[in-house]
Amino acid sequence: MLKRVGIFPVDQESITLFENIHECRYGEIIHIASIKAWGLCGKKIQRCDGSEIIIEEGIGNIIKECEVLILLESWHDASPEYIKSVVKTAKQKSITIVSINNIRNSLEIDQHYENVVVAKKLKIQKKCDDLRVRKINIPVICVLGLTQNSGKLKMELELQKCLKQKGYKVAAIVSGLNGLIGKDTFCFEKKYLNGKNRNEEIIININAAVKRLEQDYDIVIVGIPGACLSFNPQYSNDFGITTQLFMCAIEPDYSVLMLPYMRYEEAFISHVKDEVQKRYDITINDIGISEFAIDMDASFEQKKMCFLKLIDKERDFEHLKKISVVDIKSDSQIEKLSDRIIWTLEN
């Protein structure tokens, strides 16, 4: 029987991530709560299965009904004294605390709080396991984004769900909260992907971390952090360096490129696809369209773009049907994409 799980304290960023969690590795999420001053209490959140959950005020119901409390990184924005009292109350009720950060060290909580569990990230060794890039012996599906907010996370999780329903064991390397508490999802330690490590070390370690998933899964989906092309001279997207490192490490068998929503023409999509393929020496098998659009009416800051999440009535579905893309809002199109992936991998 699944354990009852509560999540606290929910902030705006964790709402976006929470909306896309299909399954939680620690049990069934039945309560989510926030701090009154943050202005989110009472807000309804639509989950990916269509159900709704209301953000509650404080941890009262979590303490009464849950066996696991997931303490999010946003506790840093609350007072340490308040969080200490939350931990103490949970301890008295024998509730297991899952900390996204190591709360015991951060708050100097006494060592006898043995029911604190730290959510694990996909480990990348500080010292390389093997000084070479090894072939990954299970199919690797790669999801890239032309820009930030291009719907990579949602595409990864929807594909994972579809492929699981077809009987495959599927791991997904995603970002943030989903990677830490989602079932069969993982995320990398960011500190091993930054410039303090040499590029060859990063490549070898990414390869080794993904290769370890071979033991337990049939397919792995890898979301490439950040964006893969410069949208304009001011928005560098780290010049595609992160994408290049991942491409050297994993050699994908199937790649999906996500674009923000616009009224694209086939010629433009073809041009973008060619540019990405040439730059990273890969094959882009499919193009996906995000539920986010670039907000042309926003005031832009230098080196920053603004995005707008579109509701259904603002999206031109008829136009999307006329071009060869996968609409992230269409379950049937994602289902067909998963069928194409399986056919490609088997032939």
Q: Is the pLDDT of residue 163 over 70?
A: yes
Lowest average pLDDT, out of 80-84, 89-93, 261-265, goes to: 80-84
Q: Is the pLDDT of residue 42 over 60?
A: yes
Rounded Cα distance, 345 and 332, in Å: 20
Rounded Cα distance, 116 and 283, in Å: 44
- Look at residue 124 and tell me if it is in a domain: no
Q: Are 110 and 222 part of one and the same domain?
A: no
Percentage of the residues of the chain whose pLDDT score is greater than 90: 38
In total, how many domains does the chain have? 2
Residue 112, pLDDT score: 45
Question: What average pLDDT does the segment 301-315 reach?
Answer: 75
- Look at residue 127 and tell me if it is in a domain: no
Neighbours of 102 (CB within 10 A): 11
Q: Are 145 and 208 part of one and the same domain?
A: yes
Q: Is the pLDDT of residue 339 over 80?
A: yes
Q: Are 105 and 149 part of one and the same domain?
A: no
Give 198's contacts (C-beta < 8 A, 6+ positions apart).
none
- Look at residue 39 and tell me if it is in a domain: yes
Q: Is the pLDDT of residue 139 over 90?
A: yes
Residue 29, pLDDT score: 92
Residue 271, pLDDT score: 92
- Look at residue 131 and tell me if it is in a domain: no
What CATH number corresponds to the domain at position 217? 3.40.50.300
- Look at residue 280 and tell me if it is in a domain: yes
Residue 193, pLDDT score: 66
Q: What is the pTM of this model?
A: 0.85
Q: Which residues pair with 44 in a beta bridge?
A: 54
- Look at residue 130 and tell me if it is in a domain: no
Token readout for 222 is 């890898």
Q: Are 229 and 82 part of one and the same domain?
A: no
Rounded Cα distance, 248 and 133, in Å: 8
Place 170 in a pLDDT band, splitting at 50, 70 and 90.
very high
Instruction: Give residue 31's domain range.
Output: 4-118
Q: Is the pLDDT of residue 160 over 90?
A: yes
In this structure, are residues 40 and 15 in contact, taking their beta carbons and an 8 Å threshold?
yes
Q: Are 162 and 302 part of one and the same domain?
A: yes
- Look at residue 185 and tell me if it is in a domain: yes
What CATH number corresponds to the domain at position 48? 3.40.50.720
Q: Are 23 and 162 part of one and the same domain?
A: no
Q: Are 220 and 341 part of one and the same domain?
A: yes
Question: What average pLDDT does the segment 25-46 reach?
Answer: 90
Place 157 in a pLDDT band, splitting at 50, 70 and 90.
very high
Tell me which of 199 and 67 has the higher pLDDT.
67
Residue 83, classed as helix, strand or coil, is: helix
Sheet strand arrangement including 44-46: 44-46, 52-57, 28-34, 4-8, 68-71, 96-99, 116-118
Residue 323, pLDDT score: 87
- pLDDT tens for residues 191-238? 666 656 678 888 888 898 899 899 999 999 999 988 887 655 555 566
Pairing status of strand 219-223 against strand 170-173: parallel
Place 130 in a pLDDT band, splitting at 50, 70 and 90.
low
Tell me which of 230 and 181 has the higher pLDDT.
181
Q: Are 221 and 307 part of one and the same domain?
A: yes
Q: Are 184 and 242 part of one and the same domain?
A: yes
Q: Are 156 and 297 part of one and the same domain?
A: yes
Residue 287, pLDDT score: 96
Question: What average pLDDT does the segment 20-28 reach?
Answer: 87
- Look at residue 241 and tell me if it is in a domain: yes
Rounded (10°) CA dihedral 6, 12, 16, 19 = 30
Place 80 in a pLDDT band, splitting at 50, 70 and 90.
confident
Q: Are 197 and 317 part of one and the same domain?
A: yes
Q: Are 92 and 163 part of one and the same domain?
A: no
